[in-house]
Amino acid sequence: MLTVDFCKGVTRGRDLKWQPVENSSEVAGRGLVRQWQAFVQAIHDGTKPPVTAEDGLHVVACIEAAFRASRERREVAVG
């Protein structure tokens, strides 16, 4: 089980305890700045960006599957 807090980072539930996931929090806005910098660098260098449109589509599919699983109270395949 994971919890995500965009200010405090990710915590993982294991053995009835919540443990913080190392390096999972960002200074407000820095993640977006780094993402844009990497995107611009990839255009400049003619390389693939570290986060692609396909990555984004997969994240959306995961979120939609999570909502559907919650609504239907069952496991749902991603995709």
Which residues in 15-53 are b (16+ Cβ under 10 Å) and which e? eeeeeeeeeeeeeeeeeeeeeeeeeeeeeeeeeebeeee
What is the token pair recorded at 74?
């069952």
Rounded distance between C-alpha atoms, residue 50 and residue 6, angstroms: 21
pLDDT (tens digit, 0 to 9) for every residue of the chain, 79 residues total?
778 777 778 888 888 889 888 877 776 667 788 888 999 999 999 999 988 899 989 999 999 999 999 999 999 999 7
Domain ranges, ordered by start, for the chain: 1-48, 51-79
